[in-house]
Amino acid sequence: MRDDVLSGGFADTPVEAARAFRAALEAMARPGSIHRVEGARAPAPVSEAAAVLLLTLCDRETPLYLAPGHDVAPVRDWVAFHIGAPLVGASEAMFALGGWQALAPLDAYRIGTPDYPDRAVTLIAELVNLAPEGARLSGPGIRETARLSLPEVAAFQRNHHLFPLGWDAFFTCGDRLAALPRTSVVEAG
Amino acid sequence: MYVAVKGGERAIDAAHEWLAEERRGDASVPELSLAQIREQMSLAVNRVMAEGSLYDPDLAALAIKQARGDLIEAIFLIRAYRTTLPRIGHSRAVDTGAMRCDRRISATFKDAPGGQVLGPTFDYTHRLLDFKLAAEAGTPSAREADPLAPEVPRITEFLNKDGLIQDEVRSEDTPPDMTRQPMEYPANRALRLQALTRGDEGFVLGMAYSTQRGYGRNHPFVGELRIGAVEVEMEIPELGFDICIGEVVLTECETVNQFAGSKTEPPQFTRGYGLVFGQTERKAIAMALVDRALRWEELGEENVGAPAQDEEFVLAHSDNIQATGFLEHIKLPHYVDFQSELELVRKMRKGALDAMKEAAE
Amino acid sequence: MSVTEIGTEARRGWMGLLARAPAARLAGVFDPLGATPGFEWLRTPETGGVMVRGRTGGTGAPFNMGEMTVTRCALRLETGEVGHAYVQGRDKAHAERAALVDALMQGPRAPELREAVLAPLAEAEAAARRGRAARAAATKVDFFTMVRGEG
């Protein structure tokens, strides 16, 4: 294992993980809101925000899928040391990390079961641009409407129709993140 | 129906203060240290570790002190603490064949290779109160002899060589974990063993005893009972190899049970298995008997309707923390539920009394 | 000298010894060595649970028994060696000392550490094990064959 993959974890885990968890929670509870996070550094091409999410949400019991582009040796080793999440294929994953295109096809992921709708994947999609513009969001956690630069609209509409099943998604870009749960209604901006 | 009730904070604070005072007892008597509990109440510590499902003698001693010696309360404290620990991973399956045995006996073979080693057992004590212990007993010292060969072969392996006992098929399957997924029935044997090893000693003992008394009899012999330390190894992903991360004391019991054979199997012996944290012999033997009773279906035996054959009955009621939680919650405020019951009973009584009156007229 | 040259077996040996050693005993032999070398944390000490597994019948399929407490950490010395520790219990200082020894064993001070830390720990562990084995041996039953009477 290369020595450089051993660094980049939280320096003060309880405090930093709690802050990051709060940010992730806020993002998911208020779809479209954008939050800045810090404290983690993973090998390229993982963004700082995605590294923070992985450290905060994943552990040895959350199977992780690395999509093409993110599925590289330094990232695998970094995950092994800092998180220990088993690396699996898309259909077994509880979390999936990659660029939006690389994460496709979306019907490969788990969407939960009627008894356990929570047994669904959470996607972490790395975007080149993350801004409060573009697609119009409404639904729980949103006062009237919000806007978010989603990479597309159709996939989120299809996912919303599966409710209470379906996946949830985080979007990361540099040190910023936003989220879109399956409850949100998405319309083209 | 649950309704939040407010109030009583001062009463609760006062109750906690008094609890702390009562826990300490007479202040003129020296306070117990955790080391004293760990070293001198070690079998209580062992039980708390086994049923609390967390191997840490110091924490178990603390829990016993805090719980004033109420072991189920102590187990509750350990279970609560356990949930705050991040799961670092899982060990390799421990090799009990490599156990450094303090005790190792067989009820089936007198001349078992490796010998009958009694260890620090109560078995041949006379169960007479020893009033010397009422005073300070000093520091006893046990006699020693030249250590025996460290390898202690398994009794069941001898029977296995001759095909006289059902084989345990080795596998590396990932076992289910009831602390992570809700229980689902039917459970497989791995899940049953997990539930039994952390199950209440009294409950598992009672179930095992019921099989001996005829409710699903399975004719057990203790093929082997061993108590001792085993090293725990874990694969470390960042190193790429396994290391030993510590050592635990375990009690292992293998029973050898008569089996008349079935449509597909010739007569042979079958096995029940018990493996428990700490020196916990009664529990390990009981676990083996209950494990064997629950295997009726896979062995093609008849279900005679005995409680110990009913997997859901046994597993759903073996956990003393679940049981005590549900049992004891009925003493907490149920004012609203009871009000509605009261009204219902009054109404029904009135109806019944009116009907009786009418009939009499 | 790289870890591969040291040999995985040797490293497994000392990491296990450090994990099993009582925290106070490790402190007792390590601290007299003087100033601890400078290092940076790669993973600050963290206490967690490891699920211990057994096997059905001792030899069959694995099952989960219960957890044990383990504290782990990782650090890098100023001189570059990376030390890891996974030690039984909840003592963070124990894990830190174990990781420091692991790192130092990969550098020029290895002979000194082997003599001052690992040897006495191994000796103490062996003595404790021997003591229990000797007591166990004293409780081994010697059967006498009794002559059965008539009838």
CB contact under 8 A, B240 and A1: yes
Is there a domain that residue B309 lies in?
yes
Return d(Cα B335, Cα A178) in angstroms, integer: 45
| CA-derived radius of gyration, chain B | 25
CB contact under 8 A, A81 and B237: yes
Would you tell me which residues 59-88 of chain A have a C-beta closer than 8 angstroms to some C-beta of chain C? Answer: 81-82
CB contact under 8 A, C76 and A82: no
Q: Could you list the pLDDT tens digit for every one of the 189 residues in chain A?
A: 566 788 889 988 889 999 999 999 999 999 999 999 999 999 999 999 999 999 999 998 899 999 999 999 999 999 999 999 999 999 999 999 999 999 999 999 999 999 999 999 999 999 999 999 999 999 999 999 999 999 999 999 999 999 999 999 999 999 999 999 999 999 998
Tens digit of each residue's pLDDT (9 = 90 or more) over C68-116: 999 999 999 999 999 999 999 999 999 999 999 999 999 999 999 999 9
- Domain locations in chain A? 3-187
Q: What is the pLDDT of residue B151?
A: 82
Contact by Cβ (8 Å): B75, B50: no
Q: Which domain holds residue B53?
A: 9-82
Q: Which long-range CB contacts under 8 A does B119-128 form with residues at least 24 apart?
A: B119/B227, B119/C136, B119/C139, B120/C135, B120/C139, B121/B281
Q: Which domain holds residue C73?
A: 3-137
Q: What is the pLDDT of residue A165?
A: 97
Interface test with B, best of A1, A7, A75, A79 (most B CBs within 10 A): A1
Contact by Cβ (8 Å): B1, B336: yes
Do B75 and B105 lie in one domain? The reply is: no
CB contact under 8 A, B144 and C12: no
The reported pTM is: 0.91
Token pair recorded at residue B52: 């609390």
**Which amino acid does the sequence have at A67?**
A
Q: What is the mean pLDDT of residues C4-33?
A: 92
Helix (H, G, I), strand (E, B) or coil at C148: coil
User: Considering only alpha carbons, which residue of chain C is nearest residue A59?
Assistant: C48
A105: preceding bond cis by omega (within 30 degrees): yes
Q: Which residues of B touch A78 (CB under 8 A)?
A: none
Distance to chain C for B150, nearest Cα, Å: 9
Contact by Cβ (8 Å): A126, A99: yes
Would you tell me which residues 117-136 of chain C have a C-beta closer than 8 angstroms to some C-beta of chain B? Answer: 129-136
Is there a domain that residue B2 lies in?
no
Is there a domain that residue C51 lies in?
yes
Specify the DSSP element, H or E, that contains B9: helix B9-24
Structure ipTM: 0.93
Number of domains in chain C: 1
Do B154 and B298 lie in one domain? The reply is: yes
Number of domains in chain B: 2
Token pair recorded at residue C56: 């059905």
Q: What is the pLDDT of residue C1?
A: 44
User: Which parts of chain B sit beneath pLDDT 50?
Assistant: none
Return d(Cα A77, Cα B347) in angstroms, integer: 70
Q: What is the mean pLDDT of residues C121-144?
A: 94
Chains with ≥3 Cβ pairs under 8 A against B? Answer: A, C
β-strand pairing of B270-277 with C39-55: unpaired
Calculate ∠ Cα B186-B188-B191, nearest 5°. Answer: 105
Do B192 and B279 lie in one domain? The reply is: yes
Q: Which residues of C touch B56 (CB under 8 A)?
A: 68-69, 89-90
Tens digit of each residue's pLDDT (9 = 90 or more) over C48-60: 999 999 999 999 9
Contact by Cβ (8 Å): B77, B49: no
Return d(Cα B266, Cα B269) in angstroms, integer: 10
Cβ-based neighbour number of residue A107 at 10 Å: 10
Interface contact A152, partner C, CB < 8 A: no
Contact by Cβ (8 Å): B254, B154: yes
Contact by Cβ (8 Å): A53, A172: yes
Token pair recorded at residue B269: 């012996």
CB contact under 8 A, C69 and B54: yes
Q: What is the pLDDT of residue C5?
A: 56
Is there a domain that residue B350 lies in?
no
> Looking at the partner chain, which of B58, B88, B177 has a beta carbon nearest the beta carbon of C50?
B88
Contact by Cβ (8 Å): C71, C23: no
Q: Which residues of A touch B180 (CB under 8 A)?
A: 61
Do B160 and B187 lie in one domain? The reply is: yes
Tens digit of each residue's pLDDT (9 = 90 or more) over A161-187: 999 999 999 999 999 999 999 999 999
Do B34 and B161 lie in one domain? The reply is: no
Tens digit of each residue's pLDDT (9 = 90 or more) over A103-120: 999 999 999 999 999 999
Contact by Cβ (8 Å): A66, A87: yes
Superfamily in which the A3-187 domain is placed by CATH: Bacterial phosphonate metabolism protein PhnH (3.40.50.11310)
Calculate ∠ Cα B241-B244-B250, nearest 5°. Answer: 135
Would you tell me which residues 25-84 of chain A have a C-beta closer than 8 angstroms to some C-beta of chain B? Answer: 59-61, 77, 80-81, 84
Could you give the dihedral angle defined by the CA atoms of residues A157, A161, A164 and A168, in that order, rounded to the nearest 10 degrees? -20
Q: Which residues of B touch A1 (CB under 8 A)?
A: 238-240
Residue labelled with tokens 């003599």: C115
